[in-house]
Amino acid sequence: MGKDASTVSRALDPTKAHLVNQATLALILETAGRMGYRGDRVAGALRRGTTGTVGVVVADLANPFIAPVVHGITSAISSENLVAMVVETNDDHVQMESCLDHLLSRRVDAMIVAGARFGDQAALEAASRHAAVILAVRGLPDCQLPQVLHDDHGGGRLAARHLLHLGHTRLAELRGPDDVGNFVARHQGFSSACAEAGVSVVDLPEIGERPTREEGERLAGLLLDRSNSDLPTAVFVHNDLMALGALSVFKAHGIKCPEDLSIVGYNDSPTIDQVDPPLTSVAYPGIAIGKAAGALAIAIIAGVEGAASGNLLPSSLVERASTSTPRR
């Protein structure tokens, strides 16, 4: 009648509750509820070697495009009673290492890294020897880790084909950082599609250090300086944030979009359809990426064979008023 801890432990574990007498079970459940008893998962984690947590590494949560990904992850893993430990690297390699350290020392069952840069590869591979590491959003070219990505190469091609189809022949590209997989793939997709059509792209000597609005403004200024009267008729900007920055610079210089210049952005951000003009943009399925990465984490944790394969979600273009046939 002393109700030993082991019996309570069994009763409280849905997996093993059937091993215990109905009456005892009911009594334990009732008593636990009444006394507000809650099992200690920290102690449980030490004993079982599994914490029921998933690490999530992002560059910067304040970037509006990453939040849906994290939302997708938490909604996927919460069904398995896992919780996310979210850390930010601020796109800094040293911080990346300390983030991995924090997560590893807290013994996460898996980690989803949605903010990898090329320089982080070795650290990530090292981390993967201690816990399952899944790359999401930002891929690494020659890396065996499972990756859940969006088809950025295809997205770049879509942007190019859309502009070519409209009849543009003088194109430019405002690029994001070249050590982030997405931007590299967007660039490759865009240029290869242009090359196939025999159209050359204005080559800006610089790329965005970070995919921010400020960098979009800077690159747009550079493009204006460089082109003088010979401005391209269309420009592909690697994300919406940069596109908005560029747009405001063009506007300030009296350059009308789309009459003087068509603009394609990337991400199809929440309010981008109500800016002036509504921006044509390649859609980024952030929630779906997050859910897929979460599902993959669950499968790997469960030890499903062949789960570690990865995933490539398709891209699509949303046409709006910022692109039109060239009018010059």
Q: Give me the residues that bind DNA (CB under 7 A), please.
A: 1-7, 9-10, 12-13, 16, 18-25, 39-40, 43-44, 46-49
How far apart are alpha carbons 271 and 250 in whole angstroms? Answer: 20
- Residue 59 CB, shortest distance to a copy of itself, in Å, is 11
Query: Judged by CB under 8 A, does residue 283 bind a copy of itself?
Result: no
Per-residue b or e along 253-262, where b marks 16 or more CB atoms closer than 10 Å to that residue's CB: eeeebbeebb
How far apart are alpha carbons 122 and 86 in whole angstroms? Answer: 21
- The partner in contact with residue 228, picked from DNA, a copy of itself, none with C-beta cut-offs of 5 to 8 angstroms by kind, is none
Single-letter amino acid, residue 263: I
Query: Judged by CB under 8 A, does residue 226 bind a copy of itself?
Result: no
Residue 312 to residues 56, 67, 135, 137, 307, Cα–Cα distance (Å):
19, 19, 12, 10, 14
Instruction: Specify the stretch interacting with a copy of itself by CB under 8 A; choose among 86-94, 138-146, 169-177, 179-187.
Output: 86-94
How far apart are alpha carbons 30 and 24 in whole angstroms? Answer: 10
- The partner in contact with residue 35, picked from DNA, a copy of itself, none with C-beta cut-offs of 5 to 8 angstroms by kind, is none
How far apart are alpha carbons 258 and 107 in whole angstroms? Answer: 52
Interacting residues of 207 by C-beta distance below 8 A, sequence separation 6+: 175, 176, 177, 178, 183, 219
Closest listed residue to residue 168, CA positions, set 140, 198, 189: 198
Single-letter amino acid, residue 141: P
Query: Judged by CB under 8 A, does residue 60 bind a copy of itself?
Result: yes
Beta-bridge partners for 282: 266, 317
Interhelix angle 240-252/213-227, rounded to 10 degrees, is: 50
- Residue 9 CB, shortest distance to DNA, in Å, is 3
- The partner in contact with residue 16, picked from DNA, a copy of itself, none with C-beta cut-offs of 5 to 8 angstroms by kind, is DNA
Query: Judged by CB under 8 A, does residue 131 bind a copy of itself?
Result: no
Binding flags for a copy of itself, 8-37, as an x/- string (CB under 8 A): ----------------------------x-
- Whether the bond into 64 is cis, omega within 30 of 0: no
- Residue 79 CB, shortest distance to a copy of itself, in Å, is 11
The residue from 28, 103, 257, 317 that contacts a copy of itself (CB under 8 A) is: 103
Query: Judged by CB under 8 A, does residue 287 bind a copy of itself?
Result: yes
Residue closer to DNA by CB (options 106, 327) is: 106
Give residues in contact with a copy of itself (CB under 8 A). 36, 38-43, 45-46, 51-53, 56, 60-62, 64, 66-68, 70-71, 74-75, 78, 81, 83-88, 101-107, 126, 130, 240, 244, 247-248, 269-272, 274-277, 287
